[in-house]
Amino acid sequence: MELGISSLGHIIEYGLNKQYNSLTDLFIKATEDSLNFAEETDINIVELVIDPPVVFNGDERKKFINLVKSYSLTTQIHGPFINVNLCTHNHIIANASVNCYIKTASLCQEINSKIFTIHPGLGNFLINSILDYNKIQLANSVNKLLKSNHTSGLNICLENMPQNCNIMLDENDIEDIFKKINNKDLYFTYDTSHFYTVDGNVSILWDKMHKKIKNIHLVDNFSRDSDTHPPLGTGKVDFAEIFDVIKSYNYQGPLIIELSSIKELSQSITFINKFL
């Protein structure tokens, strides 16, 4: 296991404080400062969140690639997730979401990132019977992505979701979706807070999915109705139990601290190090 950080906290904090002149400025500044923080604190892995996705084309793309390559850190990518919906029954949006992730996969190849996390989107919240169709659509979308020539050598990891997303929820739902997708090249990102919101059983999840788990998001939470990403150790997520389970399966992948603010990053690193 190796500890890493997400650039999410920098993006959220700079965005909320309006510390940018444009979306490109926001994204590049957050990315650069998260990489700098990692270097200064001897963290070797940074998960770069590509949202807002302003770096797919042109000079912005070159600037991002050159920036990332100027560091000796290991980087992995969290794809865009705002307004992206692979599981929607709206085929126009589903296809656009697949294309968005294909572009992100191409970016992964250019910066030599080997892990790429994707979100399934939002299941229907009005008609429960459509949720089965959401799973079928998700399977179709993910398989289209995996067939793209940009995904060679890339570990694409589908992330579990909090309860208000209505898809990829508890251990049984996750297992069912992976069976529907039925593709050996798809892997799993386990988010500790998302799983807490659905009152999932960590031991059963790892029994079912441990061979697929390539990435972990370490996130705390206070409530099953929220996903606020507070400092690690301040909420109700049982990290002692989680680390007992993941160590029993000899997990060797990245552990990404994912916060909504940069102020508590050092505090969270200190907290989680006692479990490593």
pLDDT in tens, 33-68: 999 999 999 999 999 999 999 999 999 999 999 999
Tell me the three-class secondary structure of the chain, residue by residue.
Answer: CEEEEECHHHHHHHHHCCCCCCHHHHHHHHHHHHHHHHHHCCCCEEEEECCCCCCCCHHHHHHHHHHHHCCCCEEEEECCCCCCCCCCCCHHHHHHHHHHHHHHHHHHHHCCCCEEEECCCCCCCCCHHHHHHHHHHHHHHHHHHHCCCCCCCCEEEEECCCHHHCCCCCHHHHHHHHHHHCCCCEEEEEEHHHHHHCCCCHHHHHHHHCCCEEEEEECCCCCCCCCCCCCCCCCCCCHHHHHHHHHHCCCCCEEEECCCCCCCHHHHHHHHHCCC
Residue 267 pLDDT more than 80? yes
> Can you give the CATH number for the domain in which 82 is found?
3.20.20.150
| pLDDT attached to residue 178 | 98
pLDDT in tens, 124-172: 877 777 788 999 999 999 999 999 988 889 999 999 999 999 999 999 9
Residue 79: give the domain boundaries. Answer: 2-273
pLDDT in tens, 100-119: 999 999 999 999 999 999 99
User: Total structural domains in the chain?
Assistant: 1
